[in-house]
Structures are given as C-alpha cells and as structure tokens.
Structure 1
Amino acid sequence: MPDIDIRTTGRAGRITLTRPKALNALSYDMCMAIDSALRNWREDDDVDLVILDAEGEKAFCAGGDIAELYETGTKEDFTFGQTFWRDEYRLNALIFEYPKPVISFLQGFTMGGGVGIGCHGSHRVVGESSQIAMPECSIGLVPDVGGSLMLALAPGRLGEYLGTTGYRMGPADAMLVGFADYFIPQINWPDLIELLEASGRAEIIDDHAYTPPIGTLNYLQAEIDQCFDGETLSDILNNLRNIESEFSNKAMTALRRNSPLSVACTIEMLHRLRGTSLTIRKALELEYRFTFRAMEHGDILEGIRAQIIDKDRNPQWQFADMNVPAVAVSKMLQPLGSDALSFPEE
C-alpha cells in the first residue's frame, strides 16, 4: 500500500511509514498492515528484530488519521471509531509484548497514534529533532494507545502534567519520562540501520548512544509535583490558582485550552492505574472505556471540528467552566461489559 512500506532486509523486518506530507498520520489500514506483518515475523526464524521508521524530516508519526473518525461520527456512526481504537490498541499491546526486539527511530513529531507504535518497543531511539507528546485532551480524547501506562509510571506528577497539557518533550525529557531509551544523532541513523539489518543484533545500539542535550522537565519537576499533586481536576486547579508563578500561569493557560472532561478523566485514569498491578492491557482497557464513548458522550467531534475541520480554534467544550462533576468522569470510565476491550490471545 502507498502509505507504508513493509519488507524484510537481511535479518530485519522493516516497517517504514511513507506519508510525510500528512506527517505520517496512521490510518486504520496502516495499523492492520503493521499488525499482520508483526504476527507473521513473530513466527519467522529468519527475522531477528523489527525496525520501525518513517520518511520525512518533520514527523515519525504525528497521530492517527482522524478525518474518517469525524466523518462517520458526525453521522452518528460510532462503530468505525470503536473498531479503529479496539484494533489499534490490540496492535499497541502486540508491540509492547513482542518476543523479538522492536527498534523505532523517532524523528520530529511523535504524538498520539505515533506513540502507540513507536514508544512501546524494546529500543526507542530519539534524535535532535524529536518532539514527543500526548496532546489528546486538546481534541476531546484522553492519552491513549497505551500512553497512559507510561504517564502513570513517570516520576512524580509528570504524568498528570504531560497528559493534561500536551507538553512536547525533547529527547532528554522523553528519556526521563520513559518514552525513549537512546539518543543517537540523526546523521548516524542510516548506518546504524544497515548494521542492524545485517547483524540482527539489537544490542549494538548501545555502542552508538550519546548523552542527549539537557531537557527542561528536571528543572520543572518540583513545581510540577507541587501544582499537579491532586486527586481531581478541581484539586489541581486550586493548586495552580494558589501558587503564583510563571509556571503555574502557563500550566493554567494550557489546561484551559483543552477539554475539561478529557482532562478530568485523564487525572482519574492515572490515579487508578498507578500501582504494582499495572500492565499494558490494563491501561488499554481503561483507555478504551473512554474512547468507546468519546464520540457519543465526549468532546472529540467538537474538538476535531475546532482544530482540524473549521480551524477556528474555539471549541465549545462541555463543562466549559472546568467544574466537571465526579459522576461525569465515572460515566466515561465505567466498565463496558460485553463491549470491553479484549485481546485475541486471551
């Protein structure tokens, strides 16, 4: 298919996203092609590892292709979106649990669906241009594709901050938070990929890694922990109002741009997920409770309209005063019963 190039080279299964003009946005068909290739290579003794990369300088993958979600959702056909998210999340789990090394090269923007395919593998490589984010609250979703797992595991309250504001992480920040493993200058990537293809040995990446340029989250950690230490959106808003600083003002501005319902549900999700029982499947199942309901009961259609369709940047969110009732959060995150996310291997 024209949007993705799947092949084997040497000892490597190779997946290259080839939609640079669309920032390599991930369509349903692309997800299914990746899923099929990974399942085939899992049983292929001639494939020792998998390499994921993308064409273009601007993005590895800036997210899911949401045009069709909007088109079907505005016609009150919610099944396409529910099927897309269900099968995409199954792919995310497949990558996370894959028995062979999965190596991703994440230049430019890696956001949303790009995180789902690029940040769950065993060897996640970033370079000078890398910017990784979970900006779903800006269109009325929650951090999904397994991103909630990494946010829940992030140091302190970085998860709440990143998940609710959509802050873009450079290479050092991404490594600190757990979205990436290695910093390698991008000029070195082609030669390294050739070595990986020829050898089938993922461990050679260790010999090519550098220390990344200094990030910013280390310096902001204390303020983030102070401001975002709360059980609910209301708690965090109170903290931000009571702490007069440049950081708190910027954080408040960022939160006000996003869907209050999505922000409140994101905070609740991270609190539910933290603990020793956290798994990728548990995170995805909780995310799916929200996304299954998102078009019918959430803000996603309005978010896509304001950001992508009309581009007026003026979404009319539910709970625009940011007072989100606890019952509204509970309704979005209650179990789905027979519609709950399941996995083929179960």
Structure 2
Amino acid sequence: MSAGDDILLRVEGRVGHATLNRPRALNALSYDMAMALEKALDDWRDDPAVDMVLIDAEGDKAFCAGGDINALYSTGKTGNLDYARTFWADEYRLNAKIAAFPKPYVALMDGIVMGGGVGVSAHGSHRIVTERTMLAMPECGIGLIPDVGGTWLLARAPSRIGEYLGLTGTRIGAADAIHAGFADTFVPSDRLEALKARLVTTADASSIAAFAAEPPEGELALIENGIGAAFSSPSVPDIAGALGKMDAEWAGKAVKAIDRGSPISLACTLEMVRAAREDASVAESLKREYRFVSRCMEDGDFIEGVRAAIIDKDRNPAFAGARKEMPAERVAQMLAPPPGGDIEIPV
C-alpha cells in the first residue's frame, strides 16, 4: 500500500511542506501516511536546501482526529496483533524524530487535534493553534492510553492538569492548549494562509510572531487549583471521590468522564503520567506507552472500547465500573517490558 494522495509532501522554497489530505476522514493518520512523513523528515533533515518543516492539513474541520483506529480494530479483531504493534512502534519512532528534529518544525493545529494528530504536531518546535482548535486525548474511553508521547506532554502540564486531561479526555481550545503546554502560539484562522505564504517565502520561524494574537479566554487556569486538589489523590477511585465532593460543574463532568473510561486504561494512564515526570526524554515515555499498547488488545479493553465508540456506536462498552480499584499487580503487568523487550527509539 502507498500513502498516495493521503499526505502531500513537497519542498516549497526552503521549506519541507507536509499536508495531511484525508479531510473526509478528519485527516486520520494511516500507517502509510506516518511512514511517508517519516521518510520525508529523514530526507529534509539531511537536505541543506531545506531549512524548515511545515505541517498542516486540508479542510477547516480537523488537523488530524487521530490514528486510523478502524484499521487497528479490524486487524486486531481477526487475531492479527502484529499489524497494530508494528503501527504503534513505528508511529512512536516518528513521534520521537519530530521531538528531536534539528530544524524548525511548524505545526498548524487548526481544527480537531486528537491522538495521533497530537503526536505529529505537539512535539514540534513551533505549535500554532486557532479559534477552531479542539484538542483532546480521549483514549481512556476506548481502552487505550494517551500515547504518541502524550504521557510525556501531560506530565509537563502545570499542576495536575496532565492527570485531568488524560483521565477525562476533556476537550480544550486554543488558550488551554497553550496553558497545558501542547501549543505555543495563537494565530486567527483567517491569517493562516498569509502566515504559510510568509513561512514558505522566508523559512524564518520568527515571522510567526507578526501573525499572532491573544486567544479567547480558556478555563484551565481558572480551575487549576481545584484540579490540583482532586487529581493529586493517589488513585482513580480517590480522584473520583474528591471530585464528587466538589460543588463545581467541571468536577461533575470530570466524574462522569472517568466513569465512562476503561478501568485498566485509567489506572495505567495515572501511573504513566506520574512516571513520565521523571523521564529524561520523550523516548522513555514512548517505550512505556508501547508496553501498554502491545497488550491492550489481548489483555485490555481496546477491542471492546472501539466497538462501542466507533463500530457499533452504542456508547455502551462492557467495562467494569470505572471507580473500581485496579490492583497494582494488574497495572504492573500491563506496564512490564513486552515479550522480546522494549522497542528501540533513538533519543
């Protein structure tokens, strides 16, 4: 298979320009798209005629709504676990390459940004959001965890915002994406074309500042103290209990979101975000994330979570109650080195 027209890769001036081109699928990232982007990045990294990388997407609804979950589900459902493991391992190496890319990597995060979309944007050096940006890491709802280096990013958010976003999958806009450390700069969407033209002409990332503005007010800074009080609790049930005692609309929504999540995904996400605070590089977090995803079809809730959310769309997955205490041994088993050892990710 080939990525074909699903991702457009070209050099314009001194800029390597990648455009995700599946707008009808909300620019969902397929395996072939990820591998085509990786090859282009390798070429552009070593090409003295390329000074910058720019990644954007077709359409104004989504930058990238995540990885191609349907392909992962359909192969996993037939018992083919190798496809998903290869997808995740190779995708994670791409994420690490983006984080370590030696040239400016400018991501225009316009529209929906979730899962795999976070992985190909939020590790870049220059991350731009608009008034249309809607970012989330909702993986616990489908039996996954905030992967693609998501635990690394969440661990670096202020206070306990990382635990909050990771466990609840809360959708955030531009100001909150910047506050949480997933983005750097707000540019109104009606300035994007002019910004792209300037970048292609100059290959100068400092020119972004001329197009920047103040984003509409967010919410995270206003509720940060409450988030810190609740999400510093030692376990998922304790966090839910603390939220239940708060007389605040956001806390009530957070409890409901946690109740909808996969218990093993929630428990592992909490463990992984906290462990990632001690990681020296995103590569360490990605290796830990792979430990979970390599097991999530056989020993986790991924197949059932995707069935309920995406395939049958009944929104009624057969998860155990989300407030159930997950034994530490079960979490440790999901996060132990996989058979064959950890994946290799260059630092």
| TM > 0.5 | yes
Aligned match for 1:24, one of 19, 24, 27? 27
Cα offset for 1:258?
1.1
Cα offset for 1:319?
5.4
Aligned match for 2:282, one of 272, 280, 283? 280
- Residue 331 of structure 1 corresponds to which residue in structure 2? 333
Cα offset for 1:232?
1.7
| Equivalent position amino acid for 1:84 in 2 | F
The answer to which of 97-106 and 333-342 deviates more is 333-342
Does the alignment pair 1:90 with 2:93?
yes
Q: In structure 2, the residue corresponding to 1:338 is in which secondary structure?
A: coil
Aligned pairs (5 A) from 1:24-103: 24-103=27-106
Cα offset for 1:244?
4.2
Distance (whole Å) between structure 2 residues aligned to residue 253 and residue 122 of structure 1: 35
Contact 2:261–2:322 under 8 Å retained in 1: no
- Residue 314 of structure 1 corresponds to which residue in structure 2? 316
Cα offset for 1:237?
2.3
Aligned match for 1:114, one of 102, 112, 117? 117
Cα offset for 1:140?
0.5
Q: In structure 2, the residue corresponding to 1:294 is in which secondary structure?
A: coil
| Equivalent position amino acid for 1:191 in 2 | A
Q: Paired residues, what number?
A: 344
What whole-Å deviation, never above 9, does each CA across 1:71-99 have from its counterpart, x for those lacking one?
A: 11111111110000000000000000000
- Residue 294 of structure 1 corresponds to which residue in structure 2? 296
Q: In structure 1, the residue corresponding to 2:196 is in which secondary structure?
A: helix
Does the alignment pair 1:149 with 2:152?
yes
Cα offset for 1:153?
0.6
Cα offset for 1:241?
3.2
Normalising by structure 1, we get a TM-score of 0.96
Aligned match for 1:167, one of 167, 170, 177? 170
Contact 1:231–1:271 under 8 Å retained in 2: no
| Equivalent position amino acid for 1:169 in 2 | I
- Residue 218 of structure 1 corresponds to which residue in structure 2? 221
Q: In structure 1, the residue corresponding to 2:120 is in which secondary structure?
A: helix
Distance (whole Å) between structure 2 residues aligned to residue 312 and residue 185 of structure 1: 36
- Residue 256 of structure 1 corresponds to which residue in structure 2? 259
Contact 2:133–2:174 under 8 Å retained in 1: yes
| Equivalent position amino acid for 2:308 in 1 | A
| Equivalent position amino acid for 2:319 in 1 | W
Cα offset for 1:318?
4.2
Cα offset for 1:320?
5.3
CA RMSD, Structure 1 to Structure 2 (Å): 1.3
Cα offset for 1:265?
0.6
What whole-Å deviation, never above 9, does each CA across 1:79-129 have from its counterpart, x for those lacking one?
A: 110000000000000000000000010111000000000111110011110
Change (3 A) 1:320 1:204: closer
Contact 2:154–2:161 under 8 Å retained in 1: yes
Fraction of identical pairs, as percent = 49
Distance (whole Å) between structure 1 residues aligned to residue 323 and residue 128 of structure 2: 40
The answer to which of 195-204 and 155-164 deviates more is 195-204
Change (3 A) 1:233 1:321: closer
Q: In structure 1, the residue corresponding to 2:141 is in which secondary structure?
A: helix
Distance (whole Å) between structure 2 residues aligned to residue 245 and residue 189 of structure 1: 37
Give the unaligned 5+ runs of structure 2.
none
Cα offset for 1:240?
2.2
Distance (whole Å) between structure 2 residues aligned to residue 247 and residue 116 of structure 1: 27
Cα offset for 1:249?
1.9
Contact 1:261–1:318 under 8 Å retained in 2: no
Q: In structure 2, the residue corresponding to 1:156 is in which secondary structure?
A: coil
Normalising by structure 2, we get a TM-score of 0.96
Cα offset for 1:337?
5.6
Aligned pairs (5 A) from 1:195-274: 195-274=198-277
Distance (whole Å) between structure 2 residues aligned to residue 319 and residue 285 of structure 1: 28
Does the alignment pair 1:123 with 2:126?
yes
| Equivalent position amino acid for 2:318 in 1 | Q
Q: In structure 1, the residue corresponding to 2:35 is in which secondary structure?
A: helix
Contact 2:237–2:323 under 8 Å retained in 1: no
Change (3 A) 1:172 1:245: closer
What whole-Å deviation, never above 9, does each CA across 1:112-165 have from its counterpart, x for those lacking one?
A: 000000111110011110011101111100000011111001111100100011
Change (3 A) 1:287 1:310: same
Aligned match for 1:193, one of 196, 212, 217? 196
Cα offset for 1:245?
3.5
- Residue 340 of structure 1 corresponds to which residue in structure 2? 342
Distance (whole Å) between structure 2 residues aligned to residue 317 and residue 94 of structure 1: 35
Distance (whole Å) between structure 2 residues aligned to residue 59 and residue 319 of structure 1: 32
The answer to which of 247-256 and 318-327 deviates more is 318-327
Q: In structure 2, the residue corresponding to 1:103 is in which secondary structure?
A: strand
Q: In structure 2, the residue corresponding to 1:128 is in which secondary structure?
A: coil
Distance (whole Å) between structure 2 residues aligned to residue 247 and residue 9 of structure 1: 45
Give the unaligned 5+ runs of structure 1.
none
Contact 1:149–1:278 under 8 Å retained in 2: no
What whole-Å deviation, never above 9, does each CA across 1:173-201 have from its counterpart, x for those lacking one?
A: 00000000010111111111111111111
